[in-house]
Amino acid sequence: MAPATRVPLMRMYATDATLRLGVSHPRAVLPELLDFVARTGFAAERAITLTADWEQAPTAYAARSTKVVLRRAPLAAVEADGDQPGPAPARPARTSRVPAALPCTGAPPGALRRLWRSSWPEGVVHVADSSPRARERIVAGAAEMIGRRGLNATSIRETARHARAPLGSTYHYFPGGKGQLAAEAVRYAGGAVARSLRAELRAGPAAGLRAFLALWRAMLVGGDFRLGCPVLAVSVEEPPDGEVPAALAAAAEAFGEWEDLLAASLREHGTGAEQAEQLATLVVASVEGAVVMCRATRSTRPLDRVAERLSALIGDAVGG
């Protein structure tokens, strides 16, 4: 069946339906149904499945979806946690409070939130709607997973689960699929670093360098040396022949923006144009390489050594 084929699922569910425990699939009657659609011009609806947590049921049911699947922990697991049955709770609002940071094995959420999610607005996120906060939550989760696993090992399904977002909503937000999501994740990460760098460079190149190094140190230590740079992770993946993926182009833009910010600050403080560009490239390249070495050695020693030499070079360049 071709992508986006319109199937009368509402009729299938409402007519001659049989309740079964387990997995059900209309595959056996699809040829007959598709023939019926072709012959009669039946006003079919696009098949949409929305998956949501049990507590988000009110919002999920209010969404325009053909099928809603709710998840909840087994009752035995709930009782094992010590929860006792009590009075019926009040009807929940049609919003759900989400954590301010995504779950991340081995990493305190506070350290990671200061990195890729520095611009992630905290608060109430609507489920299965067009909320920019929900969309940004998925992008932030993708940036973290790409930095942790690499691009090829990161799937949309895993990203949706990591971001606690319905899979259907993820495809709705990113109709271009994994390529679109990866490109936006790289821009998100690159933009977060650029915002931090731009703010700290107001105090001069030395202050900007210290902040740049501190950001990567916090990422490495906070992520137990499992979390790397998503911009670098995308850059080292082999692209298809004769094609420049959007994510790779976004990575080049991110590196270029970091270099431009550093070079501009150096020029403002008396460094010659050519030397400023060379130093900016050296800073970005050496720090990115040091991050890779730190992950391999599970130590910040490579970054510390690079930091010492870069600080001396910047000091000489600006006469400090």
The string of pLDDT tens digits covering residues 169-228 is 788 888 888 899 999 999 999 999 999 999 999 999 999 999 999 999 998 998 899 999
The domain made up of 201-236+246-317 is a member of CATH 1.10.357.10 = yes
Phi, psi of 7 (to 5 degrees): -125, 135
The whole-number pLDDT of residue 199 equals 93
CATH topology of domain 96-181: Arc Repressor Mutant, subunit A (1.10.10)
Nearest Cα to Cα of residue 143 among 223, 200, 199: 223
Cα distances from 154 to residues 85, 159, 161, 242, in angstroms, run 40, 7, 11, 23
pLDDT tens for 279-296 read 999 999 999 999 999 999
Banded model confidence at residue 154, pLDDT cuts 50, 70, 90: confident
Local structure of residue 7 (DSSP, 8 states) = B
Beta strands 67-71; 96-97: pairing state: unpaired
User: Which residues of the chain form CATH 1.10.10.60?
Assistant: 96-181
Does residue 86 surpass a pLDDT of 70? no
User: Which residues of the chain form CATH 1.10.357.10?
Assistant: 201-236+246-317
Contact 134, 120 (CB under 8 A): no
pLDDT tens for 97-109 read 333 333 333 343 3
How many Å apart are CA 149 and CA 250, to the nearest integer? 18
Within 10 angstroms of residue 275's Cβ, the number of other Cβ atoms is 15
The whole-number pLDDT of residue 2 equals 54
The whole-number pLDDT of residue 42 equals 59
Task: Find the range with the poorest average confidence among 9-18, 24-33, 53-62, 156-165.
Answer: 9-18
pLDDT tens for 250-288 read 999 999 999 999 999 999 999 999 999 999 999 999 999
The whole-number pLDDT of residue 119 equals 34
The whole-number pLDDT of residue 88 equals 42
pLDDT tens for 238-254 read 877 777 889 999 999 99
pLDDT tens for 115-143 read 444 433 333 222 333 455 778 888 988 99
The whole-number pLDDT of residue 247 equals 93
Token output for 305: 């050594």
**Is 0.85 surpassed by the pTM of this model?**
no
pLDDT tens for 5-49 read 665 555 555 554 444 444 456 666 677 767 776 777 655 555 556
Question: What average pLDDT does this structure show over 304-309?
Answer: 96
Banded model confidence at residue 73, pLDDT cuts 50, 70, 90: low
Banded model confidence at residue 63, pLDDT cuts 50, 70, 90: low
The whole-number pLDDT of residue 24 equals 52
